[in-house]
Amino acid sequence: MKAVQLYDIRDLRVEEVAELSAPPPGFVNLEVRAAGICGSDLHNYRTGQWISRRPSTAGHEFCGRVTAIGEGVSHLVRGDVVSADSRMWCGTCPACASGRSNVCETLGFLGEVCDGGFAEAVQLPARLVFRHDPKLSPHVAAMAEPLAVALHAVRRLAVPDGEPVLVMGCGTIGGLSALLLSRFHQGPLLLTDLNADKAALVAEVTGGVVVALDGAAIEEALPGARLRHALDATGSIQAMARALDILSGGGALALVGIGHGKLDLDPNILVEREISLVGCHAFAGELPEAIELLANLAPALHRFVEVLPTLDTVPEAYERLLRGESNALKTIIEVAG
């Protein structure tokens, strides 16, 4: 079968690999229907930060169809269409035991610690597989994982109803966070991104207002109100520092982007203005709920994606996305119907 294999930094190859074996107890085999390219995929390809096995089939955002079921699996049948959890968590460490599987002490991700979804088929622990509405487009079903990440971040930020919120970065997670806020939070939604086209698209879909990351511009957009809550999906140290300067006291800055560099921070700013820095890593129990939201959000999600026709397009798509040559929020690879 065909798979996209990551060997090393900037070394991604489309190859023929062995067909899957029969699934062992507790596992299932999936025919992959569609898979999305994540910013962390690009980061790993560019830096090699999480390469732990060579080669490894890349990709952790995908949906598929169950083709074989191992012994002991009772919640699935052959033919089920499913979305995949991206996280390989142990289930026994103190973090997992407390319901925090997203900070498992041995946490790894599909496409890194085991083969992922940029392939015609994949074998997974059945606990990572969740059924979705069979009427959903696979292009939408493949968005379940990043939608769960956004849902987790929005919940961690916990903006009080009616208060303004700023989303920094209109890529996948920023755009999905803005979409969720537009549906479930009653209050002004501000958006900022260096890519004006992406910001405009997210604003059009969500009803948000595009602003410069500047205190005066934000004050003008919020006459008589104060901005206390922001979500950073850029990973930009400069953007984080600017947000901390701009936020009024008594709020929070949620960090969900992958950062590059270190923040030079005077902790007295947080103390004296009572601002919380909130880390948001992957998701905890939000994936089933994100899957339930897909049908309602499908029209908006379709507007956010570009679809490429085959696995052969993946290496070039990585390079194009790293060059910033796409205004789509998510690039989806169509693998099977």
Same domain, 241 and 303: no
Same domain, 12 and 114: yes
Q: What is the CATH number of the domain that holds 118?
A: 3.90.180.10
- Quote the pTM value: 0.96
Burial class (CB in 10 A: 0-12, 13-18, 19+), 25: exposed
Residue 21: is its pLDDT beyond 70?
yes
Q: What is the CATH number of the domain that holds 161?
A: 3.40.50.720
For the stretch 299-331, pLDDT in tens is 999 999 999 999 999 999 999 999 999 999 999
Same domain, 265 and 161: yes
Count of Cβ atoms closer than 10 Å to residue 146 Cβ:
27
Single out the residue in 260, 279, 298 at which a domain terminates. Answer: 279
Same domain, 143 and 290: yes
Find the domain containing 90 and state its range. Answer: 2-147+283-334
Same domain, 141 and 10: yes
Same domain, 11 and 66: yes
Same domain, 217 and 271: yes
Same domain, 167 and 258: yes
Single out the residue in 263, 279, 295 at which a domain terminates. Answer: 279
Single out the residue in 236, 255, 279 at which a domain terminates. Answer: 279
Same domain, 293 and 269: no
Whole-angstrom Cα Rg for the chain: 20
* Residue 209: partners with Cβ closer than 8 Å, 6 or more residues away: 188, 189, 190, 191, 203, 221
How many structural domains compose the chain?
2
Same domain, 236 and 306: no
Same domain, 29 and 102: yes
- Percentage with pLDDT > 70 across the chain: 100
pLDDT at 259: 83
Can you spell out the DSSP letters for 47-79? Answer: H-TT--SSSEE---EEEEEEEEE-TT--S--TT
Average pLDDT over residues 177-181: 98
Same domain, 19 and 127: yes
For the stretch 323-337, pLDDT in tens is 999 999 999 999 986
Round to whole Å and give the CA distance between 317 and 80. 29
